[in-house]
Amino acid sequence: MELTVWGIITAIVVGLIVGALGRLVVPGRQNMPIWLHLLIGVGAALLGTVLARAIGIATETNGVDWGELLVQVVVAAIAVALVAGVGGRRRVTR
């Protein structure tokens, strides 16, 4: 299983976008900084690239690999929502 430069660049761009959007989608005030959302998005999108290649969705194309992109977006969106949801619930009220 080989990660291409294009796959890594796509994962980083998708991760940054989904990480930023994840902050907007999760309701309420989050106690997480924006850079953490972006970092989670990038990590999850890279994981999505590896996952897409492992299950055989990612193929070598001359253009955009829509299957790999879809897996990246789904994994990154789930990760941002989970971490933001868990992080947002850890609040002590007095």
Tell me, yes or no, if the pTM score tops 0.75. Answer: no
Give the pLDDT score at 26.
67
> Tens digit of pLDDT for each residue in 34-46?
888 888 888 888 8
Burial 52-85 (b: 16+ CB within 10 A, else e): bbeeebbeeeeeebeebbebbbbbbbebbeebbe
Give the pLDDT score at 49.
81
> Tens digit of pLDDT for each residue in 55-67?
888 677 777 778 8
